């Protein structure tokens, strides 16, 4: 097995895995894992989280009424979107779920200064990037009939995430 160095400096192994695939794997697992942990903090109080009751109270205070419904929705969205992205499974859907949730997080924290909405903005940007790039070769989506990526699927995922966020903001 020898590696081939192409003109654009992407090294590819004999199995077809490129450096970009490894980079996407690291980014997906790191980002998706952190987002899933964040959701589990809301839902279950794991990883020193507040748990559902305290999160529901906080959501109620931010104008998301009923607080328990919206706290559960946010926690499940972060957990599900994060796990889908970490696994590289149904990547555009995972990206849309994460993006919609982060748009709401940005909206809820934007009046409290940059430091409060900075992290949701980073999560939103990463979600958009994964929507367009796809998960790479080292993912459960790779080579499957349902694998989708590229401009059309990325734009669709962004549209779904934005629409879901706007519906949530209108209903809250």
Cis before 86? omega within 30: no
DSSP 62: T
Q: Each residue of 76-103: pLDDT tens digit?
A: 999 999 999 999 999 999 999 999 999 9
Reference 85, options 145, 39, 44; nearest CA is: 39
Please give the model's pTM, rounded to 2 decimal places.
0.88
Give Rg (Cα) of the chain. 18
Q: Within a domain: residue 11?
A: no
| 149: in domain | yes
Structure confidence at residue 12 (pLDDT): 63
Domain assignment present for residue 68? The answer is: yes
Query: What mean pLDDT is predicted for residues 147-159?
Result: 92
Asked if the structure places residue 45 within a domain, the reply is yes
Does some domain include residue 72?
Answer: yes
Say whether pLDDT at 2 is over 70.
Answer: no
Tokens of 120: 């949701």
**Cis, bond preceding 66 (omega within 30 deg of 0):** yes
Domain membership of residue 12 (yes or no) is: no
Over residues 102-135, the pLDDT tens digits come to 999 999 999 999 999 999 999 999 999 999 999 9
Is 6 within a domain? Answer: no
The mean pLDDT value for 153-167 works out to 97
Which structural domain, as residue segments, surrounds residue 71? 17-171
Quick one: pLDDT at residue 4? 46
Q: Is residue 7 part of a domain?
A: no
> In total, how many domains does the chain have?
1
């Amino acid at each position: 097995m020898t590696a081939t160095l192409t003109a654009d400096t992407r090294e590819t192994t004999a199995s077809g895995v490129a450096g970009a695939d490894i980079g996407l794997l690291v980014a997906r697992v790191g980002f998706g894992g952190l987002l899933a942990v964040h959701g589990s903090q809301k839902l279950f109080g794991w990883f020193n989280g507040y748990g559902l009751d305290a999160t529901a109270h906080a959501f109620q205070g931010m104008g998301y009424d009923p607080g328990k419904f919206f706290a559960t929705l946010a926690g499940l969205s972060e957990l599900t979107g994060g796990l889908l992205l970490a696994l590289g499974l149904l990547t555009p859907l995972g990206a849309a779920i994460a993006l919609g949730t982060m748009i709401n997080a940005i909206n809820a924290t934007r009046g409290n200064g940059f430091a409060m909405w900075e992290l949701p903005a980073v999560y939103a940007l990463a979600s958009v990037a994964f929507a367009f790039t796809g998960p790479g070769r080292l993912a459960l989506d790779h080579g499957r009939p349902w694998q989708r990526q590229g401009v059309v699927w990325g734009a669709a995922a962004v549209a779904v995430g934005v629409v879901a966020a706007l519906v949530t903001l209108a209903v809250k």
